[in-house]
């Protein structure tokens, strides 16, 4: 009986691992162009950028937002645990003379999951926050309004990063999940049916983003 249960558990783990690798390989082929940028900014001045000198398998993702003349950078991304890739956040403005708008390297980590609305003022990110007291992690959708310098967030049941936020209209957004992952992840499947109405969210000053941990836990 124990051997049978162990065998079933092993098969589930192997199936989960294969689904992750398949999705990772597909995304890696699609996103090679996002690993560099032509913005003339000295990224080596960012905190924790020099981590790559000691850990050479770090990588970065650059998402340009031409509508709002901005650049979102998830940098020094590393596989912190199995299939859990996280890094730090930097947002720049004004491509002609780039200036750092926002930089987060403490308390909140980010996967290379990025979405933006059509106007280019709302950035949707998958954050990861750990609470030592409860030994619990949450992966909320973090929404940053780079026009009004505000942020909001949405805590979900989902921990899977294989999704994008899509605009449905009138401030309402949906979740477009990877089909292969959705079939094998019940939480992601539930999350994919959720709607995000930005008019119903509570918004906070961007200066208070360091309080996000307290807001969630």
Secondary structure element (H or E) that encloses residue 28, with its range:
helix 2-30
Confirm if 107 and 122 have CB atoms less than 8 A apart: no
Tell me the C-alpha to C-alpha distance, in Å, between residue 41 and each of 8, 69, 120, 140, 191. Answer: 51, 14, 21, 29, 37
167 vs 35, which has greater pLDDT?
A: 167
Domains of the chain: total: 1
33-60 confidence digits (pLDDT tens): 688 999 999 999 999 998 776 777 889 9
Backbone phi, then psi, for 148, in 5-degree steps?
Answer: -100, 0
- Asked whether the predicted pLDDT for residue 30 surpasses 60, the reply is no
- Asked whether the predicted pLDDT for residue 3 surpasses 80, the reply is no
* Residue 81: per-residue pLDDT: 85
* Residue 191: per-residue pLDDT: 98
Whole-number Å distance between alpha carbons of 98 and 92: 6
| Residue 143: strand pairing partners | 124, 152
* Residue 190: per-residue pLDDT: 97
- What percentage of residues in the chain have a pLDDT greater than 90? 76
86-144 confidence digits (pLDDT tens): 999 999 999 999 999 999 999 999 999 999 999 999 999 999 999 999 999 999 999 99
Residue 55 domain boundaries? 2-216
- Asked whether the predicted pLDDT for residue 22 surpasses 60, the reply is no
Q: Cβ-count burial of 125 within 10 angstroms (0-12 exposed, 13-18 middle, 19+ buried)?
A: buried
pTM above 0.75?
yes
């Amino acid at each position: 009986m124990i051997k049978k249960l162990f065998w079933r558990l092993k098969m589930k783990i192997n199936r989960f691992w294969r689904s992750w690798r398949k999705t990772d390989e597909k995304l890696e082929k699609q996103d090679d162009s996002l690993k560099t940028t032509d913005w003339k900014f000295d990224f080596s001045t960012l905190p924790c950028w020099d981590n790559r000198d000691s850990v050479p398998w770090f990588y970065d993702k650059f998402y340009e937002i031409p509508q709002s003349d901005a650049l979102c950078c998830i940098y020094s991304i590393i596989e912190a645990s199995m299939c859990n890739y996280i890094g730090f956040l930097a947002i720049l403005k004004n491509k002609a003379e780039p200036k750092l708008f926002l930089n987060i390297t403490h308390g909140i980590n980010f996967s290379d999951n990025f979405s933006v609305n059509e106007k280019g003022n709302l950035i949707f990110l998958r954050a990861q926050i750990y609470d030592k007291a409860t030994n619990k992690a949450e992966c909320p959708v973090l929404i940053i309004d780079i026009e009004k310098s505000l942020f909001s967030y949405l805590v979900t049941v989902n921990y899977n990063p294989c999704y994008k936020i899509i605009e449905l209209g009138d401030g309402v957004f949906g979740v477009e999940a990877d089909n292969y992952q959705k079939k094998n992840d019940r939480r992601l499947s539930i999350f994919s049916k959720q709607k995000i109405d930005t008019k119903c969210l509570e918004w906070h000053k961007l200066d208070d983003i360091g309080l996000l941990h307290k807001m969630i836990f």
